[in-house]
Every structure is written in C-alpha cells, then in structure tokens.
Amino acid sequence: MAAAAIATHAGKRRRELLGLMWVKGFSIPCRHQHKKKWATTRPKNSAIRLALQNFDMTYSVQFGSLWPSIRIGLLSEQKYGALFNNFSNIEQVTKELEHLNAVDFIRESQKVVQDLDSTAAQQASEPAMSTGTLLVPAESQPQPLPSLSTLLSPNIKCYTFPKGDISLFPPARPDTLGILGYYLLDAASVLPVLALNMQPGDLVLDLCAAPGGKMLALLQTGCCRELAANDISTSRTGRLNGILRSYIPKNICDLVRVTSWDGRKWGDLEANTYDRVLVDVPCTNDRHSVMEEDNNIFKNMRKGERQMLPMRQLELLVAGILAAKPGGVVVYSTCSLSQLQNEYVVERAMELLSIQYNISVHVEDLSSFQRLFEDTFYFFPNCRLGELVLPHLLANFGPTYFCKLHRLG
C-alpha cells in the first residue's frame, strides 16, 4: 500500500511539473525538450521562405555561378558604413572614427585616381612600343579616370572597415549642441548620391526620401539651394523630420521642404524644375525580404503590390525625369538584384518618354565607379545599364543598383 501511494504521489507530481511547462503560453526549458528547427517549424508560406524560393528561381539564372556567393551574403549580417556629419564636431568625430581603424572609402578612392593619373603620365612620356611595323594605338592603353570633382558629389565622407573586417560601429553620440556625429547605413547606398555629381546652387528633389540616409548625404554636399524630400507615407516623413532634427542645424533645415505626396504625380506638379533628381524607388528590398518577416513584401497579403512594383517604379522614374530641367541629372536606384526592377525599368522609361513626351534621355557610363571603389565593394561585371553592388561575405554591402540619366530635352 505504501509503495502504491508513493507511486501515485510521484505520478501526480510529474503531471504537475509537466503542466508547469506551459503556463499562459510561456514554455519553461526542459532537459528533454527538442530545439526547434527553422526548416521544419517555419510556416511553409512564410514571407522569408517565399522570398528565398523566388530568388533561387530567378537569380540563379540571372547570376549563374555567382548566385551561391550572393545568397550567402544576403543571409548573413549586413555591413554598415558611417556617413560623416559635416555639421557636427568634425575634429572630434574624425578622431573617433579613425581610432576604430575605419577609413573614408571616398577619400581612399582619390588615391586610385592619383595612381592612374601617374601611370598615364608615365606612359605618355614613353615612346610608343612597336613590334615590326605594328604600333600599339593609344586607344588600347588604360585610360585615366577623370578628376573626382568631375565624377562625384563633393564633401561626402563615409567611413567603412576594410574588406574582411566585420567590426561594428558604436552608436553615434551627440555633441554639445545635440548634433549626432555620423549616421549608420549601408555604405553602398551613398553611391547613387555620389553619382549625382552635385554642383553648388543645385535645386534637388529626393522623390522617395525615406528612411533618410540619402537625404542626409545630399545635405552633406553643401550644394543644395533647396532640397525637396518627399515620401508618400506620412509616418516615414515623420522619420525624415526626426533625422533633420538630430543631424542638421536649424539654418540648414530651412533649405529642406518635406512633403508626403504621391511621387508618381510629380511630373505634373513641378515639371522642368530640378537640377538633380534622386529616384530611390520602393522595391523588393532583397536583403530585408530574406531576413525579416515584418513589413515583408513577400507576405501573401502583399502579392498584388509586389506584382505591380515594376509598373510603380516606372511611373516614379518617368515622373522624376519630367520633374528635371532639360539638361538635368536623374539617378535611379533600388536595393534589389532584379533586372526587372533595374535595367528593364530604365529601358522602358526611356522608350515611354521618347514616344509620349518626345524627351530624349542619355544613360551615362558609370564603369569608373568599379575602378574607384573596387577596394570597398563587389560590383556585378555584366550590367547593361548602370552599376550593381553585390552582397559578399568579405564586403557585405548591398544590393544597390544605380543608373545615371541625363535629360536632353
């Protein structure tokens, strides 16, 4: 009897302990519980799973043998750069960033230009090589890069860690005036702003400005006579205003007009107005789509929105070009690897503008960016139009696509 009572009590106690493992939806770790496995526990229709399936199907064809490396990069921790705030305590922030062994990748590119100029000058001073009667034409020699002042927006500084260095930047601290010293972002997202080649007194439109990193980079140039920073979402324009308060002095903020209009209508609202237009369109946001369920465009409820993305991107680019002055510069950019959202949108926009508006657009060759920044980023070598930064474990920036357009008429 005593043994039976003890067994009954032990069984009851065991059931009570097992019951305690699930209290109000919270589980208590147990030695015999098994760790959940991502592949078996994630819902079959999760947005992340759908994104990966989509990318494996399309990008394996588009990139061939490069896709496995790109895929690993997308699924690994993103690398960041520190966009230097020229309105902060410059000496203190510079010392802080250099103490971390970070380097300004834009300043480092100046050394590339100087080395190429030196090589070109040396070759020019040497007699042409000959083999029998065959002379090596000048066109076959490596061509020097133009001066950075003719290529890039001025005054922008962005610090990064070298390839293979996975160090992290600490959060920026405010100075005595409450201004933050730098803004953390994907360093590749600075390239579209550099490509605009801003000039003093430019009237500038950032058509899809949120979350605000590129807007901040535009202001660092010191070239904006006025900057229109637009985003269709009022919640995101609230974030733009927050960034302005944290990084920009009041007198410079007065140069910025923050709006929340539908960017697709800008060509009607302010046609032929701007010297420089940045069109950083909504896209599949490839890195986010394979890492985060929240706000993921591959959710089933957003299927229609995803299917309409190329059309929306086309309408935004056309509106941006119409808003530019004849002779103005437009840079189109995405954070997607997709040709359908990148080159195809540019090509279709050029066709549409020619047919419907009798406007000609010239695509500028940006291959010099590969030579300038090859020590910082990995570029896709086969873009028909524009440039594409590829994620890579040794330099895990991007994806960032950008294409520079000149409106001719």
Structural domains in the chain plus CATH codes: 66-108+146-407 (3.40.50.150)
Q: How far apart are CA 334 and CA 285, in angstroms?
A: 8
pLDDT per position in the chain (409 positions), as tens?
A: 444 554 455 455 444 444 433 333 334 444 444 444 444 455 667 999 999 999 999 999 999 999 999 999 999 999 999 999 999 999 999 999 999 999 999 999 987 777 665 665 565 555 544 444 344 444 444 555 555 656 788 899 999 999 999 999 999 999 988 999 999 999 999 999 999 999 999 999 999 999 999 999 999 999 999 999 999 999 999 999 999 999 999 999 999 999 999 999 999 999 999 999 999 999 999 999 999 999 999 999 999 999 999 999 999 999 999 999 999 999 999 999 999 999 999 999 999 999 999 999 999 999 999 999 999 999 999 999 999 999 999 999 999 999 999 999 7
Residue 170 among known ligand-binding residues: no
Q: With H, G, I as helix, E, B as strand and everything else as coil, classify residue 373.
A: helix
Residue 208 among known ligand-binding residues: yes
Confirm if 390 and 399 have CB atoms less than 8 A apart.
Answer: yes
| Residue whose entry in the numeric block shows the structure tokens 């030579």 | 371
Res 406: pLDDT: 98
- CA nearest neighbour of 163 among 187, 184, 197, 189: 187
Residue 262 among known ligand-binding residues: yes
Exposed/middle/buried for 251, CB within 10 Å: 0-12, 13-18, 19+?
A: exposed
Residue 202 among known ligand-binding residues: no
Q: Which two tokens stand for residue 51?
A: 């994104």
Res 19: pLDDT: 43
Q: With H, G, I as helix, E, B as strand and everything else as coil, classify residue 103.
A: strand
Neighbours of 49 (CB within 10 A): 17
Q: Which two tokens stand for residue 46?
A: 């999760």
Q: Which two tokens stand for residue 135?
A: 């002379």
Confirm if 153 and 223 have CB atoms less than 8 A apart.
Answer: yes
Res 150: pLDDT: 65
Q: How far apart are CA 121 and CA 115, in angstroms?
A: 10
Q: Which two tokens stand for residue 47?
A: 């947005």
Residue 192 among known ligand-binding residues: no
| Residue whose entry in the numeric block shows the structure tokens 């109000």 | 24
Q: How far apart are CA 199 and CA 224, in angstroms?
A: 8
H/E stretch holding 278: strand 274-280
- CA nearest neighbour of 260 among 272, 273, 251, 269: 269
| Residue whose entry in the numeric block shows the structure tokens 């920036």 | 397
Catalytic site positions: 335
Neighbours of 213 (CB within 10 A): 21
